[in-house]
Structure 1
Amino acid sequence: MPTIKSSYQGNLRTRAEHLQSGEQIITDAPVDNNGKGEAFSPTDLVAGALGSCMVTIMGIIAEREGLHLEGLAWEITKVMQANPRKIQEIIVDMNWEKPIKDDKLLQKLKNAAKTCPVALSLHPDIKQTVNFNF
């Protein structure tokens, strides 16, 4: 059974619907690639998926350990390469105001982030830089 149903809207825009929830995402080509840049680009979604996946898996581990990650925030920087045009690097800066004093738990969370399904699915040529600021 399909997970996502998508359609081309014209003018370098697509619409995707998550069939289980009905939620929709629109993408536009970025300005530097003939688009309007009015929505996430497909490569923005890849970069965003990496951060979301990392934090989701960290959340699973944290909750098992009795830690709640509410308030954890992150910023994504996507670096593109030309010829061929592709993602060169994704930088994830995680910020949390609550320091984790348990070094073993902190290492578990870092390992969980770096081995999330999206991180493991990306081509090894895409550099993944993760900064844990907590």
Structure 2
Amino acid sequence: MANHITTKWLGNMKFESNNPSGHNLFIDAGPENDGNGEGYRPKALMLSALAGCSGIDVGSLIKKMKLEVDDFNIEIAAELTEEHPKYYHKVTMDFHFYGAALNEKKLQKAVDLSVEKYCGVMAMFQKFADVQVNTFFNK
């Protein structure tokens, strides 16, 4: 098994989870769920994984295509179902690119390749959520 993590209970609602990269992170519930808010919330961490996965794809394609981009970020808004188990059923993912010389056509191709071909986290999300992706170019 290539991916193996260990998540250790630290008491109350807090956990420490390792990662194959060698970096650890903390997971905790918020005060509204008897936690202390000293770590990532599990469901929000899934959204960070989605943004990170697609962001790495797009960053790699920007480099390979030799595109001029001053900056870019990804904003995600997601809605949970009303009933338990609550999961994200609607996700909106907005890519924001910044720069004076943006090649909009190639940047859109990079986003599309990530969404449709490369990002495994996106493929997982698409199994249970309606995912809408938008691209914004800011010069």
TM-score by length of 2: 0.78
Structure 1 residues 37 and 88: alpha-carbon distance in aligned structure 2, compared to 1, 3 A threshold: farther
Residues 117-132 of structure 1 correspond to what in structure 2 (within 5 A)? 117-132=120-135
Q: Partners in 1 of 2:126 and 2:114 — Cα distance?
A: 16
Give the RMSD, CA atoms, in angstroms.
2.3
Is the 8 Å Cα contact of residues 91 and 128 (structure 1) preserved in structure 2?
yes
Counterpart of 2:6? 5
TM-score by length of 1: 0.81
Counterpart of 1:71? 71
1:78 positional shift: 2.8
1:119 positional shift: 0.3
State whether structure 2 residue 103 is matched by structure 1 residue 101.
Answer: yes
Is the 8 Å Cα contact of residues 96 and 136 (structure 2) preserved in structure 1?
yes
- Which residue identity does 1:6 align to in structure 2? T
Is the 8 Å Cα contact of residues 4 and 19 (structure 2) preserved in structure 1?
yes
Greater strand fraction, Structure 1 or Structure 2:
1
State whether structure 2 residue 47 is matched by structure 1 residue 47.
Answer: yes
Q: For 1:15, what is the secondary structure of its paired residue?
A: strand
Structure 1: 5+ residue stretches without partners: none
Q: How many residues were matched structurally?
A: 132
Is the 8 Å Cα contact of residues 59 and 68 (structure 1) preserved in structure 2?
no
Q: Partners in 1 of 2:17 and 2:61 — Cα distance?
A: 30
Counterpart of 2:93? 92
Q: Partners in 2 of 1:42 and 1:122 — Cα distance?
A: 15
